[in-house]
Amino acid sequence: MSHPASSPSPVDALLVVDVQSAFVTGDGAVPAAARLLERTTDLIARARRGGAIVVHLQNDGPSGSDDEPHTPGWELHHRVESGPTEVVIRKTRDDGFDGTPLAGLLTEAGVTSLAVCGVMSEMCVQATARTALELGYRVVLPHDAHATQDIPAAPGISDRVPAHTVSRVAAWALGDDAEVTTPAAEVTFGAVPART
């Protein structure tokens, strides 16, 4: 496999996947949550400055879950600057495109390329990135801007799998079309090109 090593041209949208209090603060936070939040904070700020579309995906978990709607854990960690280029889209499935207006919003805006960041790498991040690829978007998944939990040991199956390994495999499994070795600091943003 020959995954691209860097992101040479700007992307025109940023998808921030499930960066909610339950997953990035407190006892349930992903390992290295502080580092993840530094990266996502920087990506959001640079996407705004570049005029890119910013979409915050917010998972509505089932009753009793850490991300049950309108509980403290469900709240988005990052402040949202709602407007024509920044929105929140709520979802109930891993894939941010499944049953949501995300595809229509990106199409209407003229988006052709996007970066994806957030949690959890092998679930909502990967599912959303995979559908974006299937829809023909150029996808950048910065290797240091998505995270997950360790996979616990399973007797007779495997030892504990560290979170950073799970994240790496989840990204790599997207195949050659996704840019998965780019660091967040190298992702650049621009406004959606004007349609002619």
Q: Which residues are catalytic?
A: 124
Question: Over the range 152-164, which residues count as b (16 or more CB within 10 Å of their CB) and which as e?
Answer: eeeeeeeeebebb
Angle at 46 between CA 44 and CA 47, to 5 degrees: 65
Q: Which amino acid is at 165?
A: T
Q: DSSP letters of 153-184?
A: PBTTTBS-B-HHHHHHHHHHTT-TTEE-S--G
Sign of CA dihedral 72, 73, 74, 76: positive
For residue 18 the two structure tokens come to 């499930």
Distance CA 91, CA 191 (A): 25
DSSP letter assigned to residue 76: B
Question: Over the range 99-111, which residues count as b (16 or more CB within 10 Å of their CB) and which as e?
Answer: ebebbeebeebeb
